[in-house]
Amino acid sequence: MPVIVGGTAKGRRIKLPPGDVRPATSKVRQSTFDYLGEFILGVRVLDLYSGSGGMGFEALSRGASSCVFVDISERVLRVTRENTETLKFSDRCRFIAKDVFRFLKSWTDYFPDDPEKYDLLIVSPPYKIAEPQKLFEEIGKSEIIAKGGCVCIEYSRHTDHPEPEGFTLDRRRVYGETVMDIWDFGLDKAELPNDNE
């Protein structure tokens, strides 16, 4: 079972849902969130293709204010809810069983009283259906991300790298078959932190 690698829930294990779920490895999660550092504190997180919820839980453990988990499978989200209760994050989470593209087209319908944009989007589509460029296009059109926010997107190294309009590549790392990008929204390169790794 995956283990939370940082923050208040460090060392806690989470269950994996049944089926074809590919959680981010501990190395990917630790490297990504260590790099994001204090940016995580108090942010609103949206975990798309959330699966086990490992990336969203890592953000909550490190100080994110809330996380919305979106996955097309209600069966998968049942396990994510169980993990949330185990980690005592229930009061900071919401779960939406919906196709990600359909959710992005109508996301404000789910939050009529709280249509605030998100600071951090975590996007981990199944490799066999991953379309990073198309996902960025929908994210941009949806206006769901706040200026100064960022998108962490995971995809196969055999997939074409995205070149999204309105976003600036902050960091790209390759871990075996996995690529993890961090793209900043609405910032110029001069405003980005230096990656000294």
For 110-169, the pLDDT digits (tens) are 987 777 899 999 999 888 777 899 999 999 999 999 999 999 999 999 999 999 999 999
Q: Which of 14-18, 22-26, 46-50 has the lowest mean pLDDT?
A: 22-26
Q: How far is CA 41 from CA 7, 62, 74, 115, 169, in A?
A: 11, 7, 29, 20, 21
Whether 95 contacts 83, CB under 8 Å? no
Q: How far is CA 52 from CA 25, 67, 194, in A?
A: 12, 13, 31
**pLDDT at res. 5:** 93
Which element (helix H / strand E) includes 59?
helix 54-61
Question: To the nearest 5 percent, what fractions of the chain are helix, strand and coil?
Answer: 35, 25, 40
The whole-angstrom separation of Cα 86 and Cα 130 is 30
**pLDDT at res. 191:** 52
The whole-angstrom separation of Cα 31 and Cα 181 is 12
CATH node for 26-189: 3.40.50.150
Pick the residue with more confidence: 52 or 183?
183
Per-residue pLDDT reduced to its tens digit, 41-81: 999 999 999 988 999 999 999 999 999 999 999 999 999 99
**pLDDT at res. 197:** 46
Half-sphere exposure of 193 (CA within 13 A, CB side): 14
The whole-angstrom separation of Cα 130 and Cα 127 is 5
Sheet of 167-175: strands edge to edge? Answer: 93-97, 66-71, 44-48, 118-123, 145-156, 178-185, 167-175
Per-domain residue ranges of the chain: 26-189
Q: How far is CA 72 from CA 25, 135, 160, in A?
A: 22, 15, 24
**pLDDT at res. 112:** 79
